[in-house]
């Protein structure tokens, strides 16, 4: 805003009066001089106002040294600095409080970073910065994951499930393939597992049909885009919880079975977050999820281009000495797998295999983590 001084206003009024008197007396030559004077005054006022305001805007308030905030905030951890919890259970944060002499309670600004120390131990590092840029001392809480009998149980379960085939389908549901897959499974009296992606209203009936016909529904993810889901731990967890909540809203079931896009052994995640798969595989177990990779792949999203190749790849990888988790896909236009499915089931039945869906007793077949 331009604020004219009293002197500038008086001068402008004087010039306007002068021009008016000259106009009344029809003194053209003097009026030209008056106009020049008016224009010059206007330019001078504009320049003066510009520098005045520039000075005001650039002027910085000098804060006395006695008022400069140099005191760092303080974080206080609730509970013990070393806590233990059982594997496959959810870690419950005991809590913390952060206070600053100027900003007051700044607990909501605390950052918590997780650092792996060993396979069964990690540190939680708490830090906070106040509005003046002062950083607190980092407080550390050590979390110890107590092993339970899950691994022994899994090994025993694997032995008990020798010769069992778990048919699993990723990346559905699709309107063209999934209904026909369900029809074949119903005809053959086979239960399978579907690791689904996000779906719209037109596919809700397929989600309900999967559940109502006795199959297991699992979480593949709200999205399958690697650059979105593997950019951070929270991005991935949000990717599965969003779909988990949607499945519950559709079916009433809260599923805890999941499969990583690309599998837990994927290396593409290194492009987006180094070490993320190591962190996520542990975190899923801590939060009560079970994740499943596979030990049989029909390569229907890769090298297998025909139903014969799908079938032969499947047969060549089966083993009666273990549980067999078979990776397939029911994405749209995947007719090669659809066309091979009935023959794959017949082969299993005719050669002494049994078929089951994934449930709490299913051994957690996983790959080695490479990131």
Residues classed as catalytic: 170, 329
User: Can you tell me the distance from the alpha carbon of 356 to that of 185, in angstroms, rounded to the nearest whole number?
Assistant: 11
**Do residues 130 and 106 make contact, with C-beta atoms less than 8 angstroms apart?**
yes
Place of tokens 């805890």: 256
Neighbour-count burial for 81-99, b at 16+ CB within 10 Å, e otherwise = eeeeeeebeebeeeebebb
Judged by DSSP in three states, 83 sits in: strand
Specify which residues 290 forms β-bridges with. Answer: 257
Q: Are strands 139-146 and 82-86 parallel, antiparallel or unpaired?
A: parallel
Q: Is the peptide bond before 293 cis (omega within 30 degrees of 0)?
A: no
**Packing angle between helix 307-317 and helix 335-350, nearest 10 degrees?**
40
Q: Is the peptide bond before 18 cis (omega within 30 degrees of 0)?
A: no
User: Can you tell me the distance from the alpha carbon of 181 to that of 204, in angstroms, rounded to the nearest whole number?
Assistant: 16
Give the DSSP H or E segment for 97.
strand 96-100
How many residues make up the chain in this entry? 371
Residue 297 tokens, joined: 């792949």
Q: For residue 106, count other CB atoms closer than 10 A to its CB.
A: 20
**Do residues 294 and 325 make contact, with C-beta atoms less than 8 angstroms apart?**
yes
Give the DSSP H or E segment for 197.
strand 193-197
């Amino acid at each position: 805003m331009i604020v004219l001084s009293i002197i500038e206003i008086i001068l402008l009024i004087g010039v306007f009066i002068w021009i008016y008197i000259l106009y009344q007396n029809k003194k053209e030559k003097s009026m030209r001089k008056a106009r020049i004077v008016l224009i010059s005054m206007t330019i001078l006022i504009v320049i003066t106002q510009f520098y005045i305001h520039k000075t005001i805007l650039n002027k910085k308030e000098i804060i006395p040294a006695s008022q400069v905030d140099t005191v760092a905030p303080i974080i206080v951890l609730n509970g013990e600095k070393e806590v233990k919890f059982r594997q496959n259970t959810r870690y419950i944060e005991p809590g913390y409080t952060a206070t600053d002499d100027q900003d007051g309670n700044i607990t909501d600004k605390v950052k918590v970073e997780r650092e792996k120390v060993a396979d069964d131990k990690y540190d939680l590092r708490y830090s906070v910065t106040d509005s003046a840029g002062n950083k607190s001392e980092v407080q550390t809480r050590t979390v110890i994951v107590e092993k339970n009998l899950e691994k022994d149980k899994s090994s025993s379960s694997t032995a008990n499930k020798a010769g069992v085939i778990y048919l699993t389908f990723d990346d559905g549901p699709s309107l063209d393939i999934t209904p026909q897959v369900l029809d074949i499974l119903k005809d053959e009296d086979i239960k399978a597992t579907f690791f689904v992606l996000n779906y719209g209203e037109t596919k809700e009936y397929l989600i309900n049909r999967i559940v109502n016909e006795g199959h297991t529904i699992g979480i593949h993810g709200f999205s399958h885009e690697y650059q979105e889901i593997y950019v951070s731990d929270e991005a991935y967890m949000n990717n599965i919880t969003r779909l988990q909540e949607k499945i519950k809203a559709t079916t009433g079931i809260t599923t805890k079975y999941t499969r990583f896009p690309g599998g837990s052994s994927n290396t593409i995640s290194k492009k987006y977050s180094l070490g993320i798969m190591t962190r996520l595989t542990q975190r899923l177990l801590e939060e009560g999820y079970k994740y499943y990779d596979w030990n049989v792949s029909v390569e229907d999203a890769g090298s297998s281009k025909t139903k014969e190749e799908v079938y032969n790849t499947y047969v060549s990888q089966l083993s009666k000495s273990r549980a067999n988790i078979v990776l397939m896909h029911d994405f749209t236009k995947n007719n090669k797998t659809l066309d091979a499915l009935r023959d794959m089931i017949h082969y299993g039945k005719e050669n002494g295999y049994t078929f089951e869906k994934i449930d709490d007793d299913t051994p957690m077949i996983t790959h080695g983590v490479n990131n």
